[in-house]
Amino acid sequence: MQEHWPHPPVRVERRGVSEAESRAANGPDWDRYADEYQATHGEFLGDAGFVWGPEGLTESEAGILGDVVGKHVLEVGSGAGQCSRWVRSQGGLSFGLDLSHRQLQHSRRLDEQTGVAVPSVLGTATDLPFADGSFDVVFCSFGALQFVQDIELAVAETARVLSPGGRFAFSITHPTRWMFPDDPTEAGLVASQSYWDRTPYVEVEDDTGQVAYVEHHRTLGDWVRVLAASGFVITTLLEPEWPAGHDRLWGGWSAVRGRFTPGTAIFGCTKAPTGKPNAGPRRA
Ligand SMILES: C[S@@+](CC[C@H](N)C(=O)[O-])C[C@H]1O[C@@H](n2cnc3c(N)ncnc32)[C@H](O)[C@@H]1O
């Protein structure tokens, strides 16, 4: 689960939640958490840096987006826009979209501090406010996708705003992590729940019973099915190893666990030139 500081007091439940409930909970949750997130991780991310996850793999090392020079690029779940600012520093025309107003205020702060502005909008991955075929590249670095219930719609929206042959890349918590407690110590290496149980992780406010935070899980097979259904061809699946000497903690990510099990999955895909969905089974 994503590291964050619940406020007000919450209890954890495992139950189904709709897309509307997920969005209504996660926007305010990220508003509450944004200051803490940027204070804790901002230096590691770099004001104009592109890091794919807690292992510290950068886009300049991974090269998953391909050449971005002169390309129209959309970052979904852009937070403070660090990755998009890096894309701009490489000659790409990157734009941000995020559900959290407070995260976008941090983006604006970094625009002013760095002199590299990322034009950004408030919105959701499931309803992108852009015309068909607007972008050559769409990416998410731990942004949006694991917080969205209607993942078919989010991926279809991505395909819609991409031009034929466009690139889609995203990082998420590695699906196998779902089996383990969100604990960076050795205790977090003992599987305690089923990999195949997609019941969302939900935090509910003690006082009001309102859903305060939601995270969704898909297996690797689910991702292949969803991407193919929207016409994507998967070309890359990176599972970065924990680098020697990297001892930074990020929630449940640590050197202790990183030695044994992947914490991040990074998919790279291309939208089929015809834009037609790829044939495949509906569900494994
Ligand atoms: C873990 S942060 C990652 C932010 C940024 N990519 C980074 O590396 O710091 C996840 C971001 O996704 C955003 N988010 C959550 N649900 C979203 C949705 N449905 N649509 C767009 N953004 C969303 C959050 O507001 C948050 O800024």
Domain ranges of the chain: 10-271
- Pairwise CA distance, residues 107 & 81, whole Å: 5
Instruction: Give counts: helices (H), strands (E), the chain.
Output: 7, 10
| Residues 59-116 pLDDT 10s | 999 999 999 999 999 999 999 999 999 999 999 999 999 999 999 999 999 999 999 9
Structure tokens at 10: 């919450």
Domain 10-271 has CATH 3.20.20.10: no
Q: List CB contacts of 267: < 8 A, sequence separation 6 or more.
A: 168, 169, 170, 171, 172, 223, 227, 234, 236, 237
pTM equals 0.94
- Pairwise CA distance, residues 177 & 218, whole Å: 11
Residue with structure tokens 């009001």? 208
Indicate the top mutation candidate among 30, 83, 157 to test ligand 1's pocket, ranked by most ligand atoms within 8 A of CB. 30
Q: Is 150 in the pocket of ligand 1 (CB under 6 A)?
A: no
Q: Is 110 in the pocket of ligand 1 (CB under 6 A)?
A: no
- Pairwise CA distance, residues 118 & 105, whole Å: 12
Ligand 1 centroid to 115 CA: how many Å? Answer: 23
Asked whether residue 216 carries a pLDDT value surpassing 80, the answer given is yes
Residue 280 near residue 225, CB atoms below 8 Å: yes
Q: Is 118 in the pocket of ligand 1 (CB under 6 A)?
A: no
Residue with structure tokens 């760095």? 114
| Residues 236-276 pLDDT 10s | 999 999 999 999 999 999 999 999 999 999 999 999 987 56
